[in-house]
Structure formats: structure tokens, C-alpha cells
A and B are shown apart, each in its own frame.
Chain A
């Protein structure tokens, strides 16, 4: 039982996959920064940004459907932007009164809201392409290259490694519970016996009892993880770990990759500039 489904990496023979992970990480971060910097309501610039994002998705060969489905994950976060609709000052587009309260959506509010929606949706798409086109170990190397502190990168690495071990453990626990969650024979069939069984022995137990079991499982998992942490630390110490994170120096970025990085950064700066012009 292995939780491979958690790994976002999707191998494809695409140009995006072949890029140096450092270039990918820097360009993805630059894209998100550019999206954040383009002013509210600069719709022509947004269209160009959308075109850029779509080209990257197409080039990555991940399939637009795959990226769109995953990007829906970002939708709940948009809820946080909903108040903008009502709070921004401007000409009202729509209003309603709820008893003593009156609420109105203003044109400025709508423009801001849809700008934020589009920007965050595009940014999430870039993050999805980055994660799906770069194996995680390479992403860790890229994080080191952009000077994210080594200790934090090491923690990401351990987290990623043990996420799968932990989820495997959860799946085993759930399977063990499922294997012992049977129905009594008497619960099958019709009639009087079934009714009495239902009344006297509730199948699946009470909600409180089930919550108790789930709580026990969560506690069990915490204790197991804690013990595992101790053992991992012992294993690291046994091989000389002394609290300092060490790794090889990274190889230099090839000239071709530098050109792609420079070109990408220039394009994104141009987009931001255009955003201020329109």
C-alpha cells in the first residue's frame, strides 16, 4: 500500500520538463510576482498574462484539463477576496437590502475582485506546472539555488520524504479499522430481528464512540511519528550529522538556460510595464 498519488510530478517529454529546475523555479516566482504587480483592472495586460500561462501549460504537455482541475483547488481561497466586492467605493452595480442592512456591489469592487480572481488563478496554474514538471528532489536543489536557507530546504526534504511514509501508515490504520468493522449477521434480512438488532446494537456504534476511535487513531499516529522522528535522528547522527546541513555546491547554470531565464524575466517585466501603461 503506497501513497504514490500524492506525488505531483508527472513525467512528460516536454520542453518545460527539460528546463533546468532553477530556471523554472525563478520564472514561476517571477510570474507570480509580475501577476501581483500588474495594477488592478489592466485587462489587456491580463490577457497577455493569460496567453503566457496558457502557452506554458500547452508546452508542458500536462494537458489543459489536468492543470484546470488542479487549479480549482485555489477557488476556496478566493472567498477571502469576496468582501472587496462590497467594501470598495464606487458606483453601485447591484444592491439589496436585508432588513436594516443594505449591501451594494460597486463597479470598482467588481473590477478588483475579478482582477484578484484572475491573478491568483493564473499564479496557481504556474505553481501547478512547476510542481508537475519538476521532480521534488530537483525542486529542493532549485530552492537552494535561490538562497532559501539550507535548514528550511532540508526540512522540506524530510517532510516530503516522510509524508509518504506517514500517509502509508494512515492507510494501514484505516484498513485495519475497516477490516474489523463488520456488520452482525442479524442486521441483514428483514423483519422483527433486524429491527431489534438495530435498536439494541447500533451498527457502526454511536457518533461519540466513533469519534473516540478516530481520536485514538490520530493519537496513535502522533506517537508513532514522534518515535519515528527519534529513530530518524539517531540514524542521521549515526552517519555523522552534527546539526549543520551540508550539501554539494550546485553546478553552474548552462548558457542556454541563462538566456531562457533572462528572456523570461524580460518578458514578465515588459508585461508589468504594459500593465501600468494601459
Chain B
């Protein structure tokens, strides 16, 4: 079933094992090529929502569809190949001994031949301008370098949909600028969770505001950022 959405979330509710209700009746559709910001205070449910897009968390009720596939036990592998999820802390994302091993991880698990894997690693590292880091050891990299490699680890899977959790957190202005330039050059559909509203204004034409596990607003970015009452109500600052 193709609904014309890259990702579609319908009436998604989710509570963690400890009873904390993290998502309440969330519905959201993202069209191919769209670049969407997901903003809101800490604890609003942004990360929880992102983990659903990759099937790491499963809804208590409601449904998640990615690239026309409804996420369930049978489709989860194919959904993961379509969605590139980049975690906030690159030390969690980069778990292999070398940069090559890390970028090759996704393609190897897709069952690709060695030549294709090597080609994809080279391409993904070129996309983030880190070709010469291929044999480096992850713990010798700076935070900015790790963030770029973390993005390469999912680009190597050639996903149609990139989901990034706070990509600019903890970066100095130069590394942040480099990362924004990099994200601007990527053609994939994107959902970016962030507190960096200046980046949102620059990069992402659509803004979704979450608070208390609900979607509070879903508007063009210019309009959302101009609404001082909306920003104030959800603890956001430009």
C-alpha cells in the first residue's frame, strides 16, 4: 500500500515499562523529500517517537508505515534498511573498532557482496567528507568528526529517510556550521529532533512541536517560529 508518504504515523500511543506514558495519540505524515524539524522540551517524547520509526520500540496502539510498509515483525528488517537512525551520542552509534568497520556494518548486515560494501563505505565517507578517516580508530576522533562518521554509518545503508537525534548538540560553531552544510547537501527525506531553532530556521521548512507526548503544532517553520506564544508555551527559544 503506497499512501504517498515516506513515513506515516497513525494514532501512535506508547508507554514505557515503568508506566510512563511517552506518546499519546501521535499522528504525522512526512512526504518524500520533506525536511521536518521535531522540537519540544526534554521529555516531550521526541526520541521515543524516533525509536518507533525504526521498530526499536513498538506502539501500544496505532501504526507506523515507512515507504509503504506497515511496521511489524515481518517488515522490520526492510523498514530498518529504509530508515537511517542517527543517535545523539556518537559513542553509542560508533561501536566498532575502526571507522571502516562501523560504516560497513549496515551494508554487511544487508547481505551485500564485499565489493559493493567497500564501494558504499567509500561513497558514504565521501558524502560526509571523511574519506581519509577510513582506517582511523573511533576513540581518537573529535565529537564533530564522530558525528559525521555516525551519519556516514547510516548513509552507507542508502536509506530513503534520515532520522537524526540532536545532530548539532555539543558541537562548536565551526563543526555545527560544517554539519548544517552537510545536511543541506543530502537529498534524503529528513526528520531532525533538535533544540537548535536557528538551524531549523535555516534548514528545515516544516516544524512539528511536541510536548507531553503529543503533537502541539505542525506548521511551516517560518510561521511556527514567528508565533511567540507557541514557542513560549513549550519552552522554546529562538
Interface residues of A, Cβ cutoff 8 Å to B: 2, 4, 135-137, 140, 157-158, 160-162, 164-165, 228, 231-232, 234-242, 246-249
Per the bound structure, the CA–CA distance linking A43 and B32 in Å amounts to 76
Chain B interface, DSSP helix/strand/loop, else mixed: helix
Tell whether A236 pairs with B95 under 8 Å between CB atoms, given A231-B87, A248-B114. Answer: yes
Q: What residues of B have a CB within 8 angstroms of the CB of A231 in the complex?
A: 87, 89, 92
Q: What residues of A have a CB within 8 angstroms of the CB of B22 in the complex?
A: none
Partner of B97, one of A4, A136, A246: A136
Check B189 for interface membership: any CB of A closer than 8 A.
no
Q: Are A158 and B95 in contact, CB atoms less than 8 angstroms apart?
A: yes
Name the residue on A nearest B150 (C-beta). Answer: A235
Tell whether A235 pairs with B95 under 8 Å between CB atoms, given A240-B110, A241-B109, A247-B108. Answer: yes
CB distance from A4 to the nearest CB of B (A): 7
CB distance from A131 to the nearest CB of B (A): 14
Q: What residues of A have a CB within 8 angstroms of the CB of B154 in the complex?
A: 239
Q: What residues of A have a CB within 8 angstroms of the CB of B95 in the complex?
A: 158, 161-162, 232, 235-236
CB distance from B114 to the nearest CB of A (A): 5
Partner of A135, one of B83, B89, B137: B137
Tell whether A248 pairs with B108 under 8 Å between CB atoms, given A4-B140, A161-B139, A234-B51. Answer: yes
Stretch at the interface among B2-10, B98-106, B228-236: B98-106
Per the bound structure, the CA–CA distance linking A130 and B169 in Å amounts to 40
Q: What residues of A have a CB within 8 angstroms of the CB of B117 in the complex?
A: 248
Check B193 for interface membership: any CB of A closer than 8 A.
no
Tell whether A2 pairs with B97 under 8 Å between CB atoms, given A231-B87, A246-B108. Answer: no
**For residues 100 through 139 of chain B, which have their beta carbon under 8 Å from a beta carbon of chain A?**
101, 104-106, 108-110, 114, 117, 137-139
Q: Are B77 and A240 in contact, CB atoms less than 8 angstroms apart?
A: yes
Q: Are B92 and A238 in contact, CB atoms less than 8 angstroms apart?
A: no
Per the bound structure, the CA–CA distance linking A136 and B93 in Å amounts to 20
CB distance from A275 to the nearest CB of B (A): 38
Per-residue contact bits, chain B 70-91, to A (CB 8 Å; 1 contact, 0 not): 0000000100110101010101
Q: What residues of A have a CB within 8 angstroms of the CB of B139 in the complex?
A: 2, 4, 161, 164-165
Per the bound structure, the CA–CA distance linking A241 and B95 in Å amounts to 12
Per-residue contact bits, chain B 47-87, to A (CB 8 Å; 1 contact, 0 not): 00001001010000000000000000000010011010101
Tell whether A239 pairs with B109 under 8 Å between CB atoms, given A2-B139, A161-B139, A248-B114. Answer: yes
CB distance from A238 to the nearest CB of B (A): 4
In the A-B complex, the 3 residue pairs with the closest CB atoms: A240-B109, A137-B97, A239-B106
Q: What residues of A have a CB within 8 angstroms of the CB of B27 in the complex?
A: none
Name the residue on A nearest B88 (C-beta). Answer: A231
Q: What residues of B have a CB within 8 angstroms of the CB of A158 in the complex?
A: 95
Q: What residues of B have a CB within 8 angstroms of the CB of A136 in the complex?
A: 97, 137
- Given A4-B140, A239-B154: 15 more A-B contacts, CB < 8 Å: A136-B137, A157-B96, A161-B95, A161-B96, A161-B138, A161-B139, A162-B95, A165-B91, A235-B87, A238-B54, A238-B83, A246-B109, A248-B104, A248-B108, A248-B117
Tell whether A137 pairs with B101 under 8 Å between CB atoms, given A2-B139, A161-B96. Answer: yes
A-B contact pairs, 25 of them (CB 8 A): A4-B140, A160-B97, A161-B95, A161-B96, A161-B97, A161-B139, A164-B139, A231-B92, A235-B92, A235-B95, A236-B105, A237-B54, A237-B56, A238-B83, A239-B80, A239-B106, A239-B154, A239-B157, A240-B77, A240-B80, A240-B106, A240-B110, A240-B157, A241-B105, A249-B114
CB distance from B122 to the nearest CB of A (A): 15
Per the bound structure, the CA–CA distance linking A232 and B114 in Å amounts to 25
Q: What residues of B have a CB within 8 angstroms of the CB of A241 in the complex?
A: 105, 109
Q: Are B92 and A157 in contact, CB atoms less than 8 angstroms apart?
A: no
**For residues 30 through 55 of chain B, which have their beta carbon under 8 Å from a beta carbon of chain A?**
51, 54
Partner of A239, one of B91, B105, B140: B105
Q: What residues of A have a CB within 8 angstroms of the CB of B89 in the complex?
A: 231
Q: What residues of B have a CB within 8 angstroms of the CB of A240 in the complex?
A: 77, 80-81, 105-106, 109-110, 157
Q: Are A238 and B91 in contact, CB atoms less than 8 angstroms apart?
A: no
Check B13 for interface membership: any CB of A closer than 8 A.
no
Tell whether A239 pairs with B97 under 8 Å between CB atoms, given A2-B139, A231-B89. Answer: no
Tell whether A234 pairs with B106 under 8 Å between CB atoms, given A2-B139, A137-B137. Answer: no
Per the bound structure, the CA–CA distance linking A234 and B54 in Å amounts to 10
Name the residue on A nearest B97 (C-beta). Answer: A137
Per the bound structure, the CA–CA distance linking A135 and B106 in Å amounts to 24
Per the bound structure, the CA–CA distance linking A158 and B138 in Å amounts to 12
